[in-house]
Amino acid sequence: MGLSTPGQAEITSLDSGNIDDFCHYKFDLLFFYRCRFSQMLHPIFEEASNIVREEFPDTKQVVFARVDCDQHSDIAQRYRITKYPTLKLFRNGMMMKREYRGQRSVTAIADFIRTQQVDPIKEALTPEELTNVDRSKRTIIGYFEKKDSDNYRTYEKVANILRDDCTFLAGFGPVSQHERFSGDNIIYRPTGETAPDMVYLGSLTNFDLAYAWVQDKCVPLVREITFENGEELTEEGLPFLILFHVKEDTESLEKFQHEVARQLISEKGTINFLHADCDKFRHPLLHIQKTPADCPVIAIDSFRHMYVFPEFKDISVPGKLRQFVLDLHSGKLHREFHHGPDPTESTTGQEIVGEVASKPPDSSFQKLAPSEKRYTILTRAKDEL
């Protein structure tokens, strides 16, 4: 295929007047730019758009657009764009947490779009395929009378947005008849051989309800942090409550998951609950004077400093893990590191084991944030929009 000229690119320039109309197609790729460095991506983005348009001529199936954030700082603030250039994905009007982080080349961007066009829903051709699923994966199964229906179109939208978080299956007609005694429905089949299925009881034509239910099932409260998703997680901007555990130690992970759900569900949205492989994340452990031999270890990384929960076994003490998180929010963990226990409060279990440090260890996971060699990073001091 010959290279198209940049002038042929069908790229929409967005502003506050048209962005809401634009961001409702099946798949949108937005290019946020502002500086001379990020504008170097323009010809690559345009050429990738040309190639994709030839393969996917439906102008509502895949859309490329760009935003000049020097001219439209309101849009940059709306989507929390703090580095340039950024390529954000939108599906059916919803911005995905996972932005494009691949190579900044025509081939890589075009290949990425191709992978995103693959149907995330696998159609089952026999009832057994819907029954005998891989229980090591979180699975959503849809049972429909027919594919050409509003119910299935809602399911398609949900699956496209959450394709990276769950496996999606669907059966139609006779294949799904055994589960359609009260009409079309979807179920969640969690991991674990004995884990019970959960049935969605809301309206299948209500996208917001269906999406919220499936997201709750597919995105676990406690997520694993890896070197691959570390940058993505740091960009959410929330402190980390992390369990460091040996990979084979599933018992400690289950205890941590249970106590987070029991004590900290109300703190969801103020802190990220994560678990990490002790062997892979030796450096953060050394930062807090721990080794894999000390695992399981719980710590908070505030992106400024790291704080250690005194004893893992104490997570089962009612309210103890919750108080540890609340003490981060109130600043108590930081104060006590500098000045010792607050004189007017009980300090049972809240200080770090050992002598009071003059300065808590610096954040280790902040190093997984976007590299300034790859992006222009905004700083409040000198480069705020």
- Pick the residue with more confidence: 147 or 229? 147
Q: Once rounded to an integer, what is the mean pLDDT over residues 193-212? A: 93
By the 8 A CB rule, do 342 and 335 touch? yes
**pLDDT of 265 over the 80 cut:** yes
Give me the percent of the chain exceeding a pLDDT of 90.
53
Nearest to 333 by CA among 369, 313, 293, 304: 304
Q: Given this model, what pLDDT does residue 343 score?
A: 60
The answer to pTM > 0.95 is: no
> Any bridge partners for residue 222, and if so which?
273
C-alpha span between 68 and 300 (Å, rounded): 37
CA distances to 80, 101, 305 from 98, in Å: 13, 8, 26
Taking only the tens place, the pLDDT of each residue in 294-348 is 999 999 998 888 999 999 999 999 999 999 999 999 988 888 766 666 665 544 4
Q: Once rounded to an integer, what is the mean pLDDT over residues 101-122? A: 92
Residue 261 phi/psi, 5° resolution? -65, -35
Domains and CATH numbers, the chain: 6-116 (3.40.30.10), 121-218 (3.40.30.10), 222-367 (3.40.30.10)
Q: Given this model, what pLDDT does residue 48 score?
A: 93
